[in-house]
Structure 1
Amino acid sequence: MSVPPPLLSCQGLEAGYGASQVLFGIHLQIAAGEVVSLLGRNGMGKSTTIKALVGALRPTAGSIHFAGQPTARLPCDAIARLGLAIVPEGRHVFPNLTVREHLVAFADRRNGLSDVWDLERIYGVFPRLKERQHHLGSQLSGGEQQMLAIGRALSTNPRLLILDEATEGLAPVIREEIWRCLAALKAAGQTILVVDKYVHRLMDLADRHLILERGRMVWEGDSAALNADRRLWERYLAV
């Protein structure tokens, strides 16, 4: 039985800013239905990797394939249309759009899914958004804005959802709500690449973990392997 190709694949990826090289020969793969975490201390290349994946930064070497197509030279909007959505750090909701308008304006069923992320399904995962569907983005709390940013990305029915520091700056009780929602997305079969500093919580969520150190992929494994070697935590994660 043949193994299906990965949904996302990077080979020998290099990227940087001007004369400053940040990524050195990155290799990674994500299969459909997987939840994968990208770990590392601040400044190790996580954000640069994400920028390269979504088309915000053009690689200087290597290849990226998403949904069976080479994307290293495609603009952001073309990659998004293939089914890649990002929830950026800082949320970036529109202050003058209502919750419902956010979720309707970006809706797209491009992937022909039978079980789509429509308005009611998103409200099912985030009931707080349904309660506040007529509120403007500027009237929401930080936690509600984060839920809205995730819901907005889901409304595009992405093949791959990238979450960049989804729990950053949130109160502990709101962080727990976000973790609950991410677990629900995993249970629904959503493919996710997640960057977050709360490694303990990612152990239950992610199928595999990737660790970056100074722009190089230095470790890859599942939660059991990561939990068994606390030297990795001390050396690469500052935990």
Structure 2
Amino acid sequence: MTALLEVEQLQTSYGSSQVLFGMHMQIGAGEVATLLGRNGMGKTTTVRSLLGITPASSGSIRFRGERIERLAADRIARMGMAVVPEGRQIFANLTVQENLLAFAANRNASENPWSLERVYTLFPRLAERSGNLGNRLSGGEQQMLAVGRALMTNPHLLILDEATEGLAPLIREEIWSCLAALRAQGQTILVIDKYVKRLMGLADRHTIIERGQVVWQGPSAQLQDQPEVWQRYIGI
């Protein structure tokens, strides 16, 4: 399988405080991968480095065959990397439809690009609330909107940071079902979340980090057989 994203020996710091120490991972085109670990271990910093928001101090990030670790965040976004950020960060004073249209871009030259209609098919609840302002949505609806907004950019890689944090169980299941549908359509996805058992049924491979370093990598079947890994590094 062709690698869409390759990260090698990535080191990232905030000022004099180093957070990532030789981070490495790979995601193939069409795969669903996870980045796991306890809070404060470097997951979000890894995402920020991938997106060019917090540039790496050393190491390499190769996306779609091109080195991107020195590129600006807007250039990386235009190459086809999109994020559903922790906390959703939708525009509270725009309607659902305006939030979606603000990010519309067909950069992926897909035969079936993401459009309002396609997002509304994936999330019927957004269609019902298309005229509602962002601050009039529930937390689950805001997360659906954040996913739909990212999809409107037609990304090659969709990243979800804390995919279901703070959501009710039924809404979490809706998000998992959405991700399963996206996987079936060939969307490459990187998921950060704490629901490991649920992720094992969705993802192809997993990377676990602790204190900014990779401590375990492997496929779902292997992680399933090693519950001691969960207990040691994820706290399950």
Alignment-derived partner of residue 169 in structure 2? 172
1:10-60 C-alpha deviation (Å, 9 max, x unpaired): 111000111111111111111110000000111111111111000111111
Shift of 1:158: 0.1
Name the CA distance, whole Å, in 2 between partners of 1:125 and 1:188: 12
Give the TM-score taking structure 1 as reference length: 0.97
Alignment-derived partner of residue 114 in structure 2? 117
Structure 2 residue identity aligned to 1:24: F
Name the CA distance, whole Å, in 2 between partners of 1:143 and 1:208: 26
Name the CA distance, whole Å, in 1 between partners of 2:189 and 2:108: 16
Superposed, which structure 2 residues align to 1:41-56 within 5 Å? 41-56=38-53
Alignment-derived partner of residue 194 in structure 1? 191
Name the CA distance, whole Å, in 2 between partners of 1:111 and 1:188: 14
Alignment-derived partner of residue 70 in structure 1? 67
Shift of 1:100: 0.8
Alignment-derived partner of residue 92 in structure 2? 95
Work out whether 1:25 is the aligned partner of 2:30: no
1:154-212 C-alpha deviation (Å, 9 max, x unpaired): 00000000000120011111111111111111111110000001111101110000010
Alignment-derived partner of residue 153 in structure 2? 156
1:65-102 C-alpha deviation (Å, 9 max, x unpaired): 11121111111111000000000000011111111111
Give the TM-score taking structure 2 as reference length: 0.98
**Unpaired runs of at least 5, structure 1:** none
2:230 to 205, 228, 233: 233
Structure 2 residue identity aligned to 1:106: F
| Paired residue secondary structure (1:133) | coil
Over the matched positions of the two proteins, sequence identity in percent amounts to 62
Name the CA distance, whole Å, in 2 between partners of 1:7 and 1:182: 18
1:139 to 116, 136, 141: 136
**Unpaired runs of at least 5, structure 2:** none
Name the CA distance, whole Å, in 2 between partners of 1:213 and 1:61: 19
Shift of 1:62: 0.4
Alignment-derived partner of residue 217 in structure 2? 220
Alignment-derived partner of residue 9 in structure 2? 12
Structure 2 residue identity aligned to 1:181: C
Name the CA distance, whole Å, in 2 between partners of 1:143 and 1:235: 31
Name the CA distance, whole Å, in 1 between partners of 2:141 and 2:161: 16
RMSD: 0.9
